[in-house]
Each structure stands twice: as C-alpha cells, then as structure tokens.
Structure 1
Amino acid sequence: MITTTRRNLLAAGGASMALAACGNGIGSPGSNQIDARVDSTLQYMYGTYPGTSELQQQAAGMLVMPLVTEAGLGLGGSYGRGALRVGGATVDYYLATAASAGLQIGAQQYSHVLFFMTQDSLMTFRRSSGWSAGGDIEYALNNRGEMLRADVLTSVSPVIAVVFAQAGLRVGATIEGTKYTRIIP
C-alpha cells in the first residue's frame, strides 16, 4: 500500500514547479527554431572545442540537444528538445527527459551532443520507440576540446557524449538515464 503524505506531495509539487520555472529557452516547439538553435550550438561547439569537428566527420550521425534544463530539490528532472543530424541534414526531432530522486538541490542548463560512431548504434537509436542513455556511452568531458581524438574514442564506445556550456548551481551534468523520444514539432 502506498501512502501519500503532505510532505511528499509538497516536495513533488515544489520540484515540478522549480523545473517548470526554469524554461529551456527554446520557447516554440517549431522545427525552424530548433534547427536554428542546433546550428548555433554546433557552431559554438566546433569553435570552442576544435577536436569535436573530427568526431563529426567520423560519426554516422549526431543528436544535438542545444539546451537542457535540469532542476531538483529532493526530486528532480530535466527537459530539452533537439535534432538528429545525419550527413549534415536534420532527419528527426527529439525530446530528452529524465527524472531523479535523492540528495540534490539546484538547477542548471547545458548543451550536449551524442555522436553515433557506428551505423549500428545510429540504427538502434532510430528504430527504438524511446531510447535511454546508459552504460554504453563514452563521455568526453574535457575542458580542452582540442584534445578529443576520434580515433581513440571510437575504439572504446559506439556512442560518445560531449556535454558543454554548463550554467547554473548544481553539481555535475550527466545524461545517463535520459530518455530520448522522437517528436513532431
């Protein structure tokens, strides 16, 4: 039997309101605006972390999430919209969501790009009804992006996550446990 206390109800409501208050800035779900933000995010990433352009050249596809908002106070969650690019063209749009519980407080925003380094990993992602990031992702969290080398990383993992442009007051940015769902903007 599940008992709901006022304290749990207030905590859940507070976490939901905190997450809703941290709008992710995309505003409209329209595809033109998502594409414009994806272009801007990629331009920033390539300029700030030159090593990522080598990853892009070797990748079968990239999922670009221009802005993910993450907030939590005991209970938390994250939300963002982005686009899947194959051969430089947008082929699908995705929603990234996650929920968490535990010792946490604060909010942050960040960008991330998933590089699918093999056709198999890209096809697995595209065929799934809701793909969840997990243990088969290699993180490339390096302040000096020019040190990222695709030949080293691709031998380790078929999916590489680059998380960057973090802003906010929350410790860490992770995409493990994030669920990606195809949307029609």
Structure 2
Amino acid sequence: MKPMSRRALLGGVAATTLALAACGNGVGSEGAAKLDARVDAALNYLDVNFPGTRDLQQKSVGMLVMPLITEAGFGFGGSYGRGALRVNGITVDYYSAAQASFGLQVGAQQYAHVLYFMTEEALAEFRASSGWAAGADVEYAVNDRGANLSAETTTALSPVIAVVFGQAGLLAGASVEGTKYSRIIP
C-alpha cells in the first residue's frame, strides 16, 4: 500500500473542514442577533445545569462562548462552529472555531464550549492574535459529579479555562485542544 503524501493529507483535512463549514449548523445566515441568542441560551443552560460555572463567569475577564460545534470524521475529520466573545456581559467580537484531525475516527457529534479568560493578559493575547490556537495552556474544568462542575484551585489560577458541555452524537471525546479561533463578521 502506498503511503499517503503530505499534500494528500492536507487536501483531505482542508476538504473535510470546508465541508463542515458549509454544513447548516443553524448559525450562518441569520447574523449577529441569531448568534447572540444562541450564546445567551448556552449560558443559561450552563447556569441551570452547572451552577459552578457562575463562579468562573464572575471571576473571568472575558468569555468566548461557542454554542454549537459540529464535529465529524471518517479517517479525516474536522469541526466547525461560531460564537461570541463577551466582556462584562457584552458581545465585543464574533469568532469561528475550526479543527482538523486524522486517525481512527468514525462518526459525528455536536457540543458547546466556553473559554473563560481569567487574566487580562490572556484575553489581550487572544484578541490581538490573527488566529489563536488552543493548546496545552488551556485547563479543563471537568464534570465529575453529576451536575456539579469542578474547578480545582490550580485550574482556577490558569489563564484560560475550558468547559465543554452538551455533547450529543456518536463520536467520543470533545476537546478544544488544537482548535483555531478566528475573528469573523457574522
């Protein structure tokens, strides 16, 4: 069997990402008002189902709320979604999130996530970048006790905390690591 070239791999990843971007995930054409309504609904869901996130929200200097991420894969995979950056409860920018992957994966899922920026420096770095990629510097607050969300002391001191929630589908393991966020105009 002939090994896959780097060009073929990148072409497959790009095609998968474009296909996901073209999927109607309910956000695209309705503009900013529709996106803000979805962000409000996602934050309300967190408040009701994970009351521990209220403390994160109050302590954060900004939040990137991605109310719907669609992820699919069959060998090549990717995810795409749109959301809003809120500072002091007000939307200041809109962002897209895209991720590409390759490996043993089959299925699709949808989920939501929020990035809590806990320091002014982390928020400023995110806003100044032309495309910010989530990496190892993002800490996760995990849902380990039913409806209670835990953020340990070390997590609470991290510059960026991620909360992934609302997973539905047949592809296991949602993560924001390796996701690239880019500013958009809805």
TM-score after normalising by structure 1: 0.87
Distance in 1 between residues matched to 2:75 and 2:28, nearest whole Å: 27
TM-score after normalising by structure 2: 0.87
Distance 1:47 1:79, change over 3 A: same
Distance in 2 between residues matched to 1:111 and 1:142, nearest whole Å: 14
Runs (5+) with no aligned partner, structure 2: none
Q: Which residue of 2 aligns with 1:69?
A: 70
CA deviation profile, 1:103-152 (whole Å, cap 9, x unmatched): 11100000000000011100000000000000000011215453424755
Shift in Å at residue 184 of structure 1? 1.2
Shift in Å at residue 102 of structure 1? 0.8
Residue identity matched to 1:153: T
Distance 1:103 1:40, change over 3 A: same
- Kindly, what percent of the aligned residue pairs are identical? 60
Residue identity matched to 1:126: R
Distance 1:69 1:60, change over 3 A: same
Q: Which residue of 1 aligns with 2:135?
A: 134
Distance in 1 between residues matched to 2:160 and 2:51, nearest whole Å: 19
Residue identity matched to 1:163: V
Aligned residues: 181
Distance in 2 between residues matched to 1:73 and 1:57, nearest whole Å: 40
Q: Which residue of 2 aligns with 1:172?
A: 173
**Secondary structure of the corresponding residue to residue 97 of structure 1:** strand
Q: Which residue of 2 aligns with 1:85?
A: 86
Runs of 4+ residues over 6 Å off in structure 1:
11-14
Distance in 1 between residues matched to 2:111 and 2:103, nearest whole Å: 21
Distance 1:130 1:17, change over 3 A: closer
Give the root-mean-square deviation of aligned CA atoms.
2.6
Distance in 1 between residues matched to 2:47 and 2:166, nearest whole Å: 12
Q: Note if contact 2:13-2:101 (Cα within 8 Å) is conserved in structure 1.
A: no
Q: Which residue of 2 aligns with 1:125?
A: 126
Residue identity matched to 1:44: Y
Q: Which residue of 2 aligns with 1:55?
A: 56
